[in-house]
Amino acid sequence: MQKIKGKLQFMGWFNLPWKLVTDNGEIDLWPIVNKFLVSLNGKNAKHEQERNCYTLTADETSEFRFKYIPGEYILLEKANGSGMFNVYAYLEDALVRLSGRMVEIEIEDEKQLKFTADKSEEVFGVYFIGDGNSCDVPKGAEQTICKISQEDCCVFLTVGAYGFSCGKFSGSAARALLDRLAKGNIRASRIGNCVLLGRKEK
């Protein structure tokens, strides 16, 4: 099994390279991940997404078969009957949430791919507020954590009618912000390493 540790700088599925900053320099994760996806193609498999982890595993007992067509789709599809999981959507969502954080990646050819956040890293926690998918930025954190108007401002800091919010866990909006960063179309320059702690009522 291969294990790699470093800070993930994921900026979108098609924004290559997928950077992992390690103690020994930058690694492009895309060829490694793509090789695994190819090796799993056609095998029975399962996946699991947690708040700070994503795992894709070959499993002969699973009723779902892995189908990978590069550039088109990545699916877990029921071998008999209807039903499927869009692995592309789940994996990309996990990578966006983990981007900016220290992670450990475990790769076992044709068996398992796992992304896990480093529990020892000190990170700032945010909460979903109410029924929405944006997170409240506590008063003062826009300066100390998000670093508004500073050179290393976080790309996920947004401001609206109700004040500052964090968009890292907002799905399509987060992916759009990372895409702008990859293309140099945003003034902010840093992918914050904040973690989602859950949901609070308004």
Give residue-wise pLDDT tens across range 67-79.
999 999 999 999 8
Question: Same domain for 141 and 92?
Answer: no
Alpha-carbon distance of 27 to 25, in angstroms, equals: 7
* Boundary-marking domain end, from 99, 117, 135: 117
Question: Same domain for 145 and 177?
Answer: yes
Question: Same domain for 155 and 91?
Answer: no
Question: Same domain for 83 and 144?
Answer: no
Task: Tell me what the mean pLDDT of segment 59-71 comes to.
Answer: 95
Question: Same domain for 88 and 18?
Answer: yes
The pLDDT assigned to 22 comes to 97
Task: Tell me what the mean pLDDT of segment 5-24 comes to.
Answer: 97
Report percent pLDDT > 90 for the chain.
88
Structure tokens given for 162: 């109700």
Question: Same domain for 40 and 86?
Answer: yes
Inter-CA distances, 61 with 107, 109, 173, 177, Å: 20, 18, 37, 39
Question: Same domain for 178 and 146?
Answer: yes
* Boundary-marking domain end, from 117, 143, 160: 117
Question: Same domain for 105 and 7?
Answer: yes
* Boundary-marking domain end, from 117, 144, 172: 117
Mean confidence (pLDDT) of the chain: 94
Residue 202 has pLDDT above 80, yes or no: no
Question: Same domain for 14 and 75?
Answer: yes
Q: How many domains does the chain have?
A: 2
Q: Following DSSP, what letter does each residue of 56-90 receive, concatenated?
A: EEE-TT-SEEEEEETTTEEEEEESSSS-EEEHHHH
Which amino acid, residue 39?
Answer: S
Number of Cα atoms under 13 Å in the Cβ half of residue 182: 19
Residue 41 has pLDDT above 80, yes or no: yes
Of 151, 163, 159, 158, the residue nearest 188 (C-alpha): 151
What residue numbers bound the domain in which 130 lies? 125-200
| Per-residue pLDDT tens over the stretch 131-180 | 778 898 999 999 999 999 999 999 999 987 678 999 999 999 999 999 99
Question: Same domain for 11 and 110?
Answer: yes
